[in-house]
Amino acid sequence: MLSLWLSKMTGKSVDLSAQPFRSSEALRKRRNETVHKSSALATVPMARAALFSAVETSQAIYLHTGERFPYSSVLTEHPLFDEEWFSDVHMPPAI
């Protein structure tokens, strides 16, 4: 979905196999599994990876569109630690 609307918006394709977009896709899939009750287990490393991956993806989307990331000042004041990418973090099996 991300590659579809982002390429329509900018005319440039997005490589979903590269970070941070690979993690964005993994996060989207896990969220859908959770919503549809096929997976609800989460760990602290998963939460850290989700936050890190989501912020990195948001920054990459703004960079891709050529616009300024509006939360740069927040991240300067409250920087995130480098974490594992969401697509690489160990996940408990779906229930």
pLDDT of residue 95: 65
- Report the predicted TM-score, pTM, of the whole model to 2 decimal places: 0.83
CB atoms within 10 A of CB 66: 8
Tens-digit pLDDT profile for residues 27-75:
998 888 888 777 667 889 999 999 999 999 999 999 999 999 999 999 9
Sign of CA dihedral 73, 23, 63, 70: negative
pLDDT of residue 8: 84
pLDDT of residue 89: 95
Q: How far apart are CA 27 and CA 50, in angstroms?
A: 7
What dihedral angle (degrees, nearest 10) is formed by the CA atoms of 82, 76, 31, 28? -80
* Sequence-separated (6 or more) residues with CB below 8 Å from residue 36: none
